[in-house]
Chain A
Amino acid sequence: MLCDSCHERDAVVELTTIQNNAVHQLHLCERCAAERGVETTVTPKHPLGEFLHDAQQQLATPNGEGLRCSFCQTSMADFRATGRWGCARCYTNFEAGIRELLRRVHGNHRHVGRSYHPPMSESMEQSAVLGELKDRLRRAIESEQFELAANLRDRIRVME
């Protein structure tokens, strides 16, 4: 099938839109889809996969031009227009560029001021430990290790 927009290239994307309560279907080639802001590459779900995906995109466009933040969709062009990043994740997604930018702005890119640990990390750590203890308790009961089970249950009670 040919692209509904340029009628030249093969259509690879099926775009469904709803306008004035009517459903429209368009079959687009990759380039025409990109022009309408439709992402055609599949973003992997794995966190590391996301990082690799971003790195790959950065390599494909040396100045990170085509890259958008995976969390807030801010692009380099948005940043250049406003001088503001969209979210904390931008600092990871545009890390290399930001490091250079900070060096130019502050003459440095390394924070030496007060350090900080978010409160969530402690409770998340605690819930991870709790989850593991509960797993071990279940296994202890299944294997009829009652002494160990009683011990684990006591530890869980203390934490809860």
Chain B
Amino acid sequence: MTVDLSLLPDGGVGWLDASGTHSDIVLSTRIRLARNLDGYAFAARARDGERLRVLAQVREAVSSVPLLREAVMYRLDELPPTSRALLHERHLVSKELAGLDVQHPLRSGAAVFLADGLGLMVNEEDHLRLQSLRSGFALQEAYASIDKLDRDLGTRIPYSFHTEFGFLTACPTNVGTGMRGSVLIHLPGLVLTKEIGKVLTSLQQMGLTYRGLYGEGSEVVGNFFQISNQTTLGRSEEELIDQLLRVVGHVVEREAEARRVLLRDAGYIIEDKLWRAYGTLRYARSLTFDEAMNYLSGVRLAVGLKLISSLSVYTLNKLLIFSQAAHLAFAEGRALTESETNLARARYVRKALEEEAGSVG
């Protein structure tokens, strides 16, 4: 059995459509809530039978939740590794749920329900990981929809809740609200002007943290950062969202300012650098993932600065996802070696840029 992504209304990548606010700087906004079902050991500690019962209980509840009535369910524990990697590369499931993390083998009962912009992972580190994914900078909208889903589900399934500690989770860093809001943001301006260090330090002083493109444990590539709240306890959901909104809003302004400075003080150097990045992507015959990310970062900046017109942010966003190893293997219809992947990546990127090339310049 392989995964049929055509079942998803937007392929699960509607969040790439660059329709949100500040979409030239902010790619997407994600909010997730960690919840556990009362009466079972947490997923990693539970026995196979317990996890399957959790899934059965969730499945029944989901069938009467309006927001998930049209949801598609994938049983990760019944999918081959290539399909699981595909879902992970689309940011629809975590590495742990996909069983791609060496420390966490694939669990029985691992599943995901996917609807328009909403997801529900079952038997991740916590029994439930609800997530809302939006294009651009949209924290309040993302929270409104995840909160609704949470309340609907919570009346059908008993969550583990402690009057003093709040929602109980496997990892103590998620206890309380169980909420992690994160904004995926592109900060090449701050990196090039070497302001990034200061910005990241001040984030940490304000109780926020940053990670790479794929969240916890992932490296920062292509100047993409995920900024999120670090604490989940002792503040309300609204306070946490509000703080993230203010701080990220400030980072967006700093990035926009850095871009203006770059263009003003180093216009031709930047222009040359970014066109070289475009040229490489347009003509290279082999690209590693990191190379592709870095050049895409440059081209994305060029589009943001309006140096390259008519190349859409949406195309660039899609390239980020579709030029990854599992997607390339899927498109080629077979497993690829590392060097074959690099060749396929260059071919894919070249073709995508060629299709829009007529109007670039």
Contacts and interface: CB of A to CB of B under 8 A. Distances in A.
A109 B214 CA distance: 29
Interface residues of A, number: 32
Interface stretch (B73-81, B109-117, B230-238): B230-238
Nearest to A104: B172
Nearest to B45: A86
A110 B172 contact: no
Chain A interface, >50% SS class: loop
B160 interface: yes
Interface string B138-167: 000000000100000011111111111111
A46 interface: no
B289 interface: no
B272 to A, nearest CB: 47
Select the residue from A71, A91, A114, A118 with max chain B CB neighbours within 10 A: A114
A118 B173 CA distance: 23
A18 interface: no
A63 B188 CA distance: 48
Interface string A70-107: 01101000000011111110011000001101100111
A71 B235 contact: no
A71 B162 contact: no
Chain B interface, >50% SS class: loop
B176 A118 contact: no
B196 interface: no
Interface stretch (B23-31, B35-43, B82-90, B277-285): B35-43
A73 B163 CA distance: 23
B38 to A, nearest CB: 6
A62 to B, nearest CB: 21
Given A87-B41, A87-B42, A119-B157, A106 B165 contact: no
Contacts of B147: 114
A106 B162 contact: no
Given A84-B170, A112-B234, 5 more contacts: A72-B45, A86-B41, A106-B173, A111-B165, A113-B179
Interface of A: 71-72, 74, 82-88, 91-92, 98-99, 101-102, 105-114, 116-121
